[in-house]
Amino acid sequence: MRLPAPNALVGGTLIGFLAIVASVSALWTPYDPLRLSFRAKLAAPSAMHWLGTDEFGRDVLSRLMAGAATSVWISLLTVALAVSLGTVIGLFSGYVRGWVDRTIMAFNDALLAFPGILLALGLLAVVGANKYGIILALGIAYAPSVARIVRGTVLSLREREFISASRVMGNSEAFTMLRHILPNCIAPLTVLATSMFGWVLLAESSLSFLGLGVPPPAPTWGNMLAGSRPYIGQAVWLGIFPGLCISLTLLGINLLGDALRDKLDPRMRGAR
Amino acid sequence: MTSTKPLLEVDGLTLRVGASGRTVVNNVSFCVSPGEIVGIVGESGSGKTLAARAVMGFIPPAVRLISGSIRFDGEEVTTMAPKRLRAIRGARVGMVFQEPMTSLNPSMLIGRQLEEGLALHRKLDAAGRRELILDMLRRVGIRDPEGAFNAYPHQYSGGMRQRIMLASVMLLKPALLLADEPTTALDAVVQRDVMELMVDLTKENGTAVLLISHDLGMVARYCSRIVVMCQGDVVEHGNSEDILARPQHPYTRKLLAAMPHREPAREVPEAGTPLVAVKDLVVDYGGRQGFFRKEQPKRALHGISLSVKPGEVVSVVGGSGSGKTTLGHAIAGLIKPSEGAILFNGKPIDKSETAYWDYRLNCQMVFQDPYSSLDPRMTIGELVGEPLRLVKGMGAAEKKARLAEVLGEVGLGDGFAERYPHELSGGQRQRVAIARAIIRRPSFVIADEPVSALDVTVRAQVLELFAELQKKHGFSCLFISHDLGVVEQVSDRVIVMQDGRIVEEGTRDQIFDAPQHDYTRKLLSAVPGLESMADGGVRLFWRLGEPA
């Protein structure tokens, strides 16, 4: 059997490791991630606390493990929501064109003009700051950029002759859209979705920073990173390790996204 | 020509693609004397463009010069310092490219663009430059040179832009002009005007021309000598007349045989009702209707009526903008006509659902661009088999058998069904498109410039295949094309269109031998006819007498 592509291999390893850690954390972490211990506060990494402790003496490794599940879960669901919402809007808008398209896109662009985080803040005020509120708010906030890209792709695909060919064949508009247009949107969508995963991870930490994220004391990578700021001089590990986790996860997702895009595109198959 | 030494001497030029080591130009030698026009002819992949571009050191970074020498006016180009090379480019050697739409900078005024070369290579003040430019624009037939000086390229048509491009190159009075498919993107009539302008201009200035083209007929008309290239090799080299009349190499013979030629008129049975009839078809392109502006709709077709009998091949010819493609799309149902009716077997298709579906299943289309007409994510088998989805009462086994049969018919037998479009050549893709069009055994096929994107020999094969299938299955065909040679070969009847109207209609022989309308005559006089001769050669002739 042929070895998978290097990007699939590295990305898969990183994400696989992350998934294992996240699942293990549900059953076992070295310490209770919520247990306070003022005697051991801001302890440097040592044999007892591999990655040190935070300002309340909570074990950083345990919190990172527990946070992995929350952060990744939130990001995954948010991206899924944004992509599906945006795709439906973009496909519909690009395909019907005319005034319906213009109206939808005017609304869409108005949303895009808003900073995503601001929009999410407003939505969070309505739905309430909890895990699902964040997913809903960020999902809606990021959907417009997906809609834009999908619509653009649909518009350019519409002009291709194979779409005309499908219509001449007698295929219905809906069939043409699902069979010929949607699959050809996948390449730009995978690229967008993987980079969006990063934005969402960071947006979630920004929300935590503003006190609208997952409420403390529950750990997420974002609120750990945000919480490390006052201690950056004394306890640099507080910021480094969550940051490293976010970076490696993003790297893994991006590599996996590239591999997935190549895999799904027949033109790339056998090209290696 | 004086007996001076050649202006350009290419000797034993060999170019190789660095990574794969494939030789793309192999031991090519030719020379061009001052004031001479030499043509390089070949199909795509023959290395003709690379060989010509190497003359100016314009080869892609991946391509390496392996051996050979290029001497321009006695100076070796291959070892020339970049600075010296730049001084020669433009000033002594000019280039005209294929695509007039992209070879001018769209965001720069025409005057300014023409000035660039002059400012770089000539010592002149602004007024002097302007004088020269206006003269040259006038010379290439721009009606309002002052206006053109301060206009942008998009304000001109493709033919006009190619004239402007020519003006910008000839301003510097180069000793050698490299013309890479200079008229391929243009209409027959415009093509002839531009070519003739080019010949006149270069003659005035004593400029030698190296003309690169796939079109042997066109090259033979304007060039004194021809170099025929095939897959990197020069296979034949000689006088134009000799090559046309007495081709030596099998490849040259193949090229000549592939050029379209007329066959005796076929018998088309007289039938009562036409298979497809179009009555007073009007198509308006609605102007963009934004929130803030309303544009007037533009009328693309002004009441077209035509009919196609069962088993008949009717061609629609015309220049770009004549509305022939719009007509095809309207008849195929891709554009909704503003007025008029389409009748299939005597029944209007928009009056009842059954009539519409009867037509929809029986009318298929082959598109121009085989690269964009196939969904890149589907295999050939899926693509060709897709139309069967809508055929009622056909079992899976039957569909599979039909698919295999049709793929066999278009010569894509073993293993092709599993492949993807990007793995196929242009000709093979067009075969796929034809297979997809005929798999439902339609009675009517619309072919919109089906061979204009293909190489000469591939075009001949595809046309032959198409004719064979047409004969076998007896479908009627509306064949849309700008290429008179192809039309002459395939049609029973010809419709000539200009500006959204039919200007002339008749049997093929009527149109080609006794054209009535001025526009038809103009079209025919732009392209020479070809007559096959006994020993594999051809003779060019003017259809309406030698032009003045």
* Model pLDDT for residues A204-259, shown as the tens digit of each residue: 877 877 777 777 778 888 778 878 888 888 888 888 888 888 888 888 888 888 88
Which pLDDT score is estimated for A39?
A: 73
Residues B167, B247 share a domain? yes
Paired tokens of B120? 């770089």
- 3-state helix vs strand vs coil in chain B, percent to 5: 35, 25, 40
Nearest to A184 among B357, B377, B386 (CB): B377
Does a structural domain hold residue B138?
yes
Q: Count Cα atoms within 13 angstroms, Cβ side, for B45.
A: 9
Bridge partners (DSSP) of residue B278 are B306, B342
pLDDT above 50 (res B548) = no
Name the amino acid, one letter, at B166: L
Per-residue pLDDT tens digits for B249-262: 999 888 888 888 77
Summarize pLDDT for A33-80 with one digit per residue, the tens: 777 777 777 777 777 777 777 777 788 888 888 888 888 888 889 999
Put simply, whether B382 touches A (Cβ < 8 Å) is no
3-class SS at B56? coil
Whole-angstrom Cα distance, residue A29 to residue A45?
A: 16
CA-based nearest residue to A121, from A144, A138, A143: A138
How far is Cα B275 from Cα A245, in angstroms, rounded to an integer?
70
Tell me the nearest-neighbour CA distance from A201 into chain B, angstroms: 32
Give the per-residue pLDDT at B172: 87
Q: Identify whether residues B59 and B180 lie together within a single domain.
A: yes
Q: Which of A162, A180, A265 sits opposite B372 (nearest CB)?
A: A162
B306 part of a folded domain: no
Q: Where residue B491 sits, what CATH number does that domain have?
A: 3.40.50.300
Provide the pLDDT confidence category of residue B294 given band limits of 50, 70 and 90.
low
Contact (Cβ atoms closer than 8 angstroms) between residue B91 and residue B33: no
> What ipTM was assigned to the predicted interfaces of this complex?
0.77
If asked whether residues B248 and B318 sit together in one domain, one would say no
pLDDT for the residue numbered A271: 42
- pLDDT band, very low/low/confident/very high, at B287 (cuts 50, 70, 90): low
Give dist(CA B227, CA B392) in Å, integer: 56
Examine the domain organization and report whether B228 and B318 are in the same domain. Answer: no
pLDDT tens column, B82-97: 888 888 887 888 888 8
Q: Min CA distance, B42 vs chain A (Å)? A: 28
Going across the sheet that includes B339-344, the strands are B298-308, B276-285, B339-344, B347-348
The per-residue pLDDT for B37 is: 92
In a domain, B210, yes or no: yes
Residues on chain A touching B365 (C-beta within 8 angstroms) = 164-165, 168
Chain A residues in contact with B389 (beta carbon < 8 A): 171
- Is the model's pLDDT at B58 over the cut of 60? yes
| A266 against B348, higher pLDDT | B348
Q: For tokens 């290239």, name the residue.
A: B229
Note whether A162 contacts B369, CB cutoff 8 Å: no
Read off the pLDDT of each residue in B258-285 and give the average, rounded to a whole number: 82
Q: Phi/psi at B300 (nearest 5 deg)?
A: -95, -35
Q: Is residue B201 within 8 Å of residue B166, measured between CB atoms?
A: yes
Nearest-by-Cβ selection for A168 from B334, B369, B420: B334
Residue B298 lies in a domain: no
- Residues B18 and B107 placed together within one structural domain of the fold: yes
- Tens digits of residue pLDDT in A155-192: 888 888 899 899 888 888 888 888 899 988 888 888 88
Contact yes or no for B187/B181 (Cβ under 8 A): no
The predicted pLDDT at position A5 comes to 78
Question: In this structure, are B249 and B318 located in the same domain?
Answer: no
Q: How far apart are CA B138 and CA B141, in angstroms?
A: 5
SS (H, E, C) B448-484: ECCCCCCCHHHHHHHHHHHHHHHHHHCCEEEEEECCH
Mutate to test the interface with B, among A164, A172, A177, A265 (most CBs of B within 10 A): A164
Q: Which helix (H) or strand (E) holds B307?
A: strand B298-308
Same domain flag for B317 and B226: no
- Mean pLDDT of all residues belonging to chain B: 86
- Distance from B330 to chain A by nearest Cα, in Å? 11
Mean pLDDT of B13-39: 87
Domain that holds residue B42: 8-257
- DSSP letter assigned to residue B235: E
- The answer to whether the CB atoms of B376 and A168 lie below 8 A apart is no
Chain B nearest C-alpha distance from A168 (Å): 6
Q: Which CATH number does the domain A6-27+53-268 belong to among 1.10.3720.10, 3.30.590.20, 1.20.1430.10, 3.90.1150.10?
A: 1.10.3720.10
Query: Dihedral angle at the C-alpha atoms of B505, B509, B515, B520, nearest 10 degrees?
Result: 60
Q: State residue B91 phi and psi, 5-degree precision.
A: -75, -45
Across the interface, whether the CB atoms of A171 and B390 are under 8 A apart is answered yes
- Measure the CA–CA gap between B427 and B446, rounded to whole angstroms: 18
Tell me the mean pLDDT in the region B330-352. Answer: 88
Both B249 and B317 in a single domain?
Answer: no
pLDDT band at B20 (very low <50, low <70, confident <90, very high): confident
| Percent of chain B residues topping a pLDDT of 90 | 28
- Pair B245, B366 in one domain: no
Count residue pairs from A and B with Cβ separation < 8 A.
64
Residue A268 pLDDT grade (very low, low, confident, very high; cuts 50, 70, 90): low
Choose the closest CB to A267 out of B291, B373, B420: B420
Q: Where exactly are the structural domains of chain A?
A: 6-27+53-268
The predicted pLDDT at position B293 comes to: 59
Torsion of CA B134, B208, B253, B528, to 10 degrees: 40
Residue B356 falls inside a structural domain: no
In B, which residues are within 8 Å of A168 by CB distance?
332-334, 363-365
**Whether pLDDT at B173 is above 60:** yes
B29 in any annotated domain: yes
A217: preceding bond cis by omega (within 30 degrees): yes
Is residue B288 included in any domain, yes or no?
Answer: no
The tokens for B46 are: 């023959």
Residue, of B140 and B261, whose pLDDT is higher: B140
The residue type at B330: A
Note whether B367 contacts A165, CB cutoff 8 Å.
yes
Chain B partners within 8 Å of A103 (Cβ): none
Q: B436 and chain A: CB distance < 8 Å anywhere?
A: yes
When divided into structural domains, chain B yields a total of 2
Question: Which residues from A are below 8 Å from B when comparing CB atoms?
Answer: 102, 160-162, 164-171, 180, 183-184, 265-267, 269
Average pLDDT over residues B348-365: 88
Collect all residues of chain A within an 8 Å Cβ-Cβ radius of residue B478: none
- Does residue B224 register a pLDDT over 70? yes
> What's the CA dihedral at B300, B303, B309, B311 to 10 degrees?
0
